[in-house]
Amino acid sequence: MSKKSAAALALLLLLGACHTVSGAGEDISKTGQAVENAAQKATP
């Protein structure tokens, strides 16, 4: 499998998991919140 085919397959799987563009936005937002919370906990 070429790199382009593998990348296309991975993209389709990721987009399929979100079902919609708004779902993808919510997933990205939740990830950002988790990173922000982890950074706040690590700050002395």
Is residue 30 within 8 Å of 18, Cβ to Cβ?
Answer: no
pLDDT tens figures, 11-43: 877 766 656 666 777 888 888 899 898 988 888
Which pLDDT band, with edges at 50, 70 and 90, does 44 fall under? confident
Residue, of 7 and 15, whose pLDDT is higher = 7
* Domain boundaries, given as residue ranges, for the chain: 3-42
- Residue 34 has what pLDDT? 92
List Cβ neighbours of 15 (8 Å cut-off, separation of 6 or more).
24
Which pLDDT band, with edges at 50, 70 and 90, does 9 fall under? confident
